[in-house]
Structures are given as structure tokens and as C-alpha cells.
Amino acid sequence: MREFTVSSKNEGVRLSRFIEKAAPSLPKSALYKAIRTKRIKLNGRRCKPDDRLHEGDVLQLWIDEQSFENRTLPDFMRASKTLQIIYEDADTALLYKPSGLNSHPSSGEYNDNLVARFLRYLYEKNEYDPSDDVFTPALCNRLDRNTSGIVIAGKNHEAVNAVNSLIRNGEIRKTYLAVTAFSPPADGVYTAYLKKDEKKNMVTVKDNPSDGWQEIKTGFRALQNSKSLWLIECTLYTGRTHQIRAHLSHLNSPILGDTKYGDRRKNADYDVHSQLLASYSISFPVTEFPSLSGLSGKTFCIPEFPFRDLFPDFES
């Protein structure tokens, strides 16, 4: 016998529909027969296929165990179970994305990415089921594959819309840490103009405005120098593709390991092959969005300083 307690997500669902999902290998004819012969009961009593379920209802199914098997698992269940959560509540989560992991599916690597890991995590703790839920939890921002750090995730439509609204209005402040093998720009906020080449997935930055170029604004502050390497704090005031990487390169201080905008000789000298860039902290404004009450007015940081081997004495 299998027993199921109905959750709020299945409020109002037809009993027959619920059983079809709970026992995917049970033929419909056998389902209706089991209801007629009282081998399926609702709250210990006889039931009908079109009964509507309510939160807290208990269904008891005296049917063959094989009826519960052979359920086709969602694609995201192929993703790794490894997931580091910085913060979580009923509506949102802040996830740590390691360098080398895509934020979203890409060609040739659909099965393991940050959003797939997040969906697997929610699925395994019964907070999300693609066969039941209309909305799919989503990431509200993304990081380049080889950039590590904080990614915001929304569990419901309200939360995703609220976060996206704050991002569009520039109300969420993101701070990054970068490593360069060149002298960093003087501390300050720099304005420039960026244009993206969609075919090459690269951007170009220049100092003067032109039609079709987007304004970018980035703050830079040198934090520490160690063995000819500089640690730079980078604050995004606009959020454009490759903004920090391209802006630092434009200011003659490319990020070490950056294969698109960096210095090949320096990358080879230090044997670094992916950009040393991390989304280190994120600050949320005070907001009245109910779904963001747990984030309102707070700042969150990644658990560990990412470049400890290069800057062993740095105090974050």
C-alpha cells in the first residue's frame, strides 16, 4: 500500500489526475477498477475519479508496486547534486556558481549547469515538479562560464519578476574581485561605451559615445598588491555583457587568465587559462516586494575568498 498526503500545490486537482501522476504505469482501466473496488480510498473512504482534492487529504492506494515505477525522470535529474546555497527562503535562493560551470544550458552540455542543479535540488525536496507546476524556477542573472560567484534564483513567478524589476532599475549592487598582472586603474568610477559583436560573442569598449553603443559605468578600487599581481574590487553600476573584463582590458589592466580580453603572454607566464574574476558580494535595496522580504536591505558574500593562494594575507 502507498499513502500520499495532498500538498497545497495539488489543491483542487481531480483525484484521477493525481493518481495518473503518482502511478504512471497504472492503466486507466485498472485505475477506475481500483476506485470501484475500493482499493483506492480518499481519507479512508470510498471515492470517485472526479473528486477534487484538498490540502491535507490522504490517499491510500492498494495497487501493484510496479504501477509506481518507470516514471520518466526530468532531464535536470542528470545534473550533479553538488550545489552550494548561500541563502534560501520560500521565494528565492542565492547560489554559488563555481568557475567552469555554465549558468544555463549550452550546446553540448545541457545536462549539467547551475539552473539544472537548482531544479534537481528543488525536485528532490519536493518543492518543484515539472508535471505539476506551471512555473519553472529560474535564474535572475547569469555569470560567464569561467566567472565564479553569486547568482540569484527565483522559485516562483512573483520573485523572478521582483528581482528582474530591481535589476532593470539598477537597484541591486554587485561587487566583483578580479586579479590583474598589470598596474590597475586609479580608484574611481569610469564611464565608457560598449558594443557587442553577436557572431563573435565579444564586445568592444571605447571612451566616446556613438549611435548603437551602450553606456557602461564601472567602479574600480585596488585592494592589494602581491608578487606583481593586483587584486581589484570592481563594482557594476550597469550590467552589460563582459563589462568588467572588457572595461579593464580597455584601461590596460586586463584580468589574468582572460582568453578573450586578456594578455596571452601574461596568461602563459602564470599558467592561468580562465579569467580570475568572482562575483564576490551582492546588495539588495530596501524593498516592499513581499517575495523579497528576506533579501530586503541585506548584503550577501560568497563563503570564501576565491584567490587565497595568490593573496594569502588578504582579509576580506
User: Is residue 79 in some structural domain?
Assistant: yes
User: Is residue 291 in some structural domain?
Assistant: no
- Indicate whether 203 and 113 sit together in one domain: no
User: Is residue 90 in some structural domain?
Assistant: yes
Residue type, 287: T
Alpha-carbon radius of gyration of the chain: 25
- Indicate whether 115 and 191 sit together in one domain: no
Q: Are 213 and 195 in contact (CB under 8 A)?
A: yes
How, if at all, do strands 277-283 and 148-154 pair?
parallel
Strand positions, DSSP E, the chain: 2-5, 40-42, 58-61, 84-88, 92-97, 138-139, 148-154, 173-180, 188-197, 202-206, 214-226, 229-236, 277-283, 299-301
- Indicate whether 147 and 247 sit together in one domain: no
User: Is residue 219 in some structural domain?
Assistant: yes
Q: Are 285 and 205 in contact (CB under 8 A)?
A: no
Q: What is residue 107's predicted lDDT score, i.e. its pLDDT? A: 62
- 67 is written with which cell numbers? 504501477
Q: Are 164 and 148 in contact (CB under 8 A)?
A: no
- Indicate whether 177 and 275 sit together in one domain: yes
- Indicate whether 93 and 137 sit together in one domain: yes
Q: What is residue 3's predicted lDDT score, i.e. its pLDDT? A: 94
The CATH number linked to 156 is 3.30.2350.10
In angstroms, rounded to a whole number, what is the distance separating the alpha carbons of residues 55 and 36? Answer: 24
The count of structural domains within the chain is: 3
Q: Which residue has the cell 565579444?
A: 202
- Indicate whether 129 and 98 sit together in one domain: yes
User: Is residue 300 in some structural domain?
Assistant: no
- Indicate whether 181 and 278 sit together in one domain: yes
The CATH number linked to 55 is 3.10.290.10
User: Is residue 304 in some structural domain?
Assistant: no
In angstroms, rounded to a whole number, what is the distance separating the alpha carbons of residues 145 and 58? Answer: 45
Domain endpoint, select from 33, 68, 103: 68
How, if at all, do strands 277-283 and 173-180 pair?
antiparallel
Residue among 255, 249, 242 at smallest CA distance from 144:
242
Residue among 308, 160, 168 at smallest CA distance from 231:
308
- Indicate whether 188 and 138 sit together in one domain: no
Name the residue range of residue 41's domain: 2-68
- Indicate whether 153 and 202 sit together in one domain: no
Domain endpoint, select from 168, 189, 224: 168
3-class secondary structure, 109: strand
Residue among 147, 142, 144 at smallest CA distance from 98:
147
- 238 is written with which cell numbers? 550597469
Domain endpoint, select from 168, 197, 227: 168
User: CB-hemisphere CA count at 13 Å for 44?
Assistant: 0
User: Is residue 106 in some structural domain?
Assistant: yes
The values of phi and psi at residue 272, to 5°, are: -120, 130
- What's the first-to-final CA gap in the chain, in angstroms? 55
Query: What is the pLDDT tens value at each position of the chain, 316 positions in all?
Result: 899 999 888 889 999 989 988 888 888 889 999 999 999 999 999 999 999 999 999 999 999 888 887 557 788 988 999 999 999 999 999 999 999 999 998 765 557 999 999 999 999 998 998 876 678 999 999 999 999 999 999 999 999 999 999 999 999 999 999 999 999 999 999 999 999 998 888 999 999 999 999 999 999 999 999 989 999 999 999 989 999 999 999 999 999 999 999 999 999 999 999 999 999 999 999 999 999 999 999 999 998 999 999 999 888 7
- Indicate whether 183 and 275 sit together in one domain: yes
User: Is residue 298 in some structural domain?
Assistant: no
Q: Which residues pair with 205 in a beta bridge?
A: 194
- Indicate whether 61 and 79 sit together in one domain: no
- Indicate whether 182 and 278 sit together in one domain: yes
